Amino acid sequence: MFKKIVDSTIFSGKCAKDHYRLLKRKVIFSMFLMVTIPLTIMLTINYFQYKSYHQNQIMLPLQEISEKTMHSFELFMEQQLAIIKFISITYNFESLKHKKTINKILISLKKEYKGFVDIGLIDSKGELISYAGPYSLLGKDYSMQTSYKETQIKGQYISNVFLGYRKNPHIVIAVQSFSNESQNFILRATISTDFFGRFIANMGLARQSDAFLINSQGIFQTNSLYYGNALEECPLKIINSHFQPYNFKKKDTKNRDIVIVSSAFTIADYILVIVQPYSVALKSWYDFKYDMVFVFLISLAIIFFAIVKLSNILVNRIKISEEHRESVLTELQHAQKLSSIGRLAAGVAHEINNPLAIINEKAGLLNDLIALSDNFDKKSKFTEISNSIVKSIERCRKITSRLLGFSRRIDVKIESIQVNDIIYEVVGFLEKETLYRKLDLILSLSDSVQPVFSDHGQLQQVFLNLLTNAFAAVENELGTIEIETKNSIKRGVIIKIDDNGCGMSQETIEKIFDPFFTTKKKEGTGLGLSISYGIIKKLGGKIFVESEPEKGTVFTIHLPEGSEEMETNYDKTKAKNSSY
């Protein structure tokens, strides 16, 4: 996929800059997707896994508390029941009928066990026949009450909270027993509901949590903090099973998310309910969730940053290698063009040279004959014409000579040379012209320039060529030409030839190394620079040109350090190239 992006981006369109920007965007986008998709999937999975794990971890302790408290309740109630049962067995029906006895029992109960309010004896017909306590209930008929009926059936009974005759919330514990005359009677005690609150407070629940008792009809048995008071109907629907604690989530009356944990009693019709808001119950989960999202976002930012950095590097690398490839290609094309033109030129030059030699001889002979003959009409005219032919031939000869020079395979003679020495030699050739034209020739030659392995004669030709060009470009008296040499960082020598002459336009610069391109019209053959280019290439160097019209031109040559083996290497490449 990545390759495709690269290819498609590189080969479509012309605007290279947009190209790379587009490529960069594509790379960033695809890399980002590739990284974020799995990360997001992982995060989502983790989110749900952690969520359920956390919920279990939070629910479990709540359930435990609920169970424990429920058992405490049951234990307490069973204890009360056992006390009443014990009394009913210990004291017979007759003794219980005595007010004195029953009063004594109540006093002992109140002293030993907290919560007892009163105690009474109900006979088989349902009439309260003996009573000890703060209320005057003696003679009241209980036969129609649930507590009486239930006790008759089950032998014992623990009631829900109710107000009853005395208009005070309480619960009833009743135990059936039998007198000596096989008459059944019921011992009935009332317990205040204060202890409920005590148990619930002991649960030690978190803030904003609520715990209360309800019965199976959903009537509050204790006051609730948020949902109502005892004996009111509970607004929350609690579904319950007797076999296991139940928990579920729902919204409460204030539209808060809540968790409900409930445990049902076995000995009485009570359900213990714990209500906790989600925010409290799952606080750790929420914290964790935020942490997780935070970490995710942070890593996303880091990834994004890294990807952008990486893409920048990548795209820049691609850009550089592309540009490099392009320049190599251009160079190769140029070299091929040069070599094919060279071959063609050599062929043409050679073929033309023979007839040229004949013409030369013929014209020369003509000249000789004219010179030998007596004066005749237009003798001088004839001489002029034949001389002109000879001159033209001389011009042709120069051209063919250069053409051949351009393509000729001159043996590269590699030796250790001092570039400065060559420059002094070449400058020597041009000294007269410098003086005559009053030009300023500055030599900034570094003494520390290292010797290089190269070809003396060919370098001489190149420098001479570049300098003649520079001389041609500058004006008399105003012209300044500077030659600079220094060591290159890449082991070699840099030679700069800088003139303040007429300079060149961008268009011209692009063509100056092409053979036959000339701006000198009559004087030049357009081969000098292309020959120089060929020579520098052959010697493993590079030649650059910078120029601005009316400002001047700088030619920079990089010559490699080279080695003595260069010659043989060059011959090898030559052989390789000429094979196609």
Partner 1 sequence: MKIKVLIVDDEKEFVDTLSARLEIRGFSVTAVYSGKAAIEMIEKLKFDVIILDVLMPEMDGIETLKLIKEKSPLIPVIMLTGEATVDNAIKGMKLGAFDFLIKPTDTERLAEKINQANAYKSEHEERIRQAEIENILRTKGW
Binding-site ranges for partner 1 (CB under 8 A): 346, 349-350, 353-354, 356-362, 364-365, 368-369, 372, 393, 397, 400-401, 404-405, 408
Q: Phi first, then psi: what are they for 245, rounded to 5°?
A: -65, 145
Our CB check for partner 1 shows the closer of 287 and 571 to be 571
Q: What tokens does 225 get?
A: 């903090």
Nearest distance from residue 493's CB to partner 1, in Å? 30
- Strand 440-445 to 156-158 pairing: unpaired
Q: How far is CA 353 from CA 21, 388, 397, 402, in A?
A: 57, 18, 7, 12
Our CB check for partner 1 shows the closer of 310 and 358 to be 358
Nearest distance from residue 567's CB to partner 1, in Å? 16
Our CB check for partner 1 shows the closer of 367 and 434 to be 367
Nearest distance from residue 393's CB to partner 1, in Å? 6
Nearest distance from residue 369's CB to partner 1, in Å? 8
Q: Phi first, then psi: what are they for 214, rounded to 5°?
A: -130, 165
Our CB check for partner 1 shows the closer of 353 and 518 to be 353
Give the Cα separation of 501 and 472 in Å (integer). Answer: 8
> What pairs with residue 557 in β-bridges?
495, 543
Per the listing, tokens 């070449």 go with 426
Nearest distance from residue 406's CB to partner 1, in Å? 11
| C-beta separation of 292 from 47 below 8 A | yes
User: What is the DSSP track for 151-173?
Assistant: HHHHSEEE---B-GGGTS-EEEE
Nearest distance from residue 394's CB to partner 1, in Å? 8
Our CB check for partner 1 shows the closer of 39 and 352 to be 352
Our CB check for partner 1 shows the closer of 353 and 387 to be 353
| C-beta separation of 211 from 205 below 8 A | yes
Our CB check for partner 1 shows the closer of 144 and 372 to be 372
Contacts of residue 165, Cβ cutoff 8 Å, sequence gap at least 6: 135, 137, 140
Per the listing, tokens 């005759």 go with 165
Our CB check for partner 1 shows the closer of 501 and 515 to be 515
Three-class secondary structure of residue 31 per DSSP: helix
Per the listing, tokens 């002029």 go with 384
Q: How far is CA 244 from CA 68, 259, 276, 479, in A?
A: 13, 16, 19, 109
Nearest distance from residue 528's CB to partner 1, in Å? 17
Nearest distance from residue 349's CB to partner 1, in Å? 7
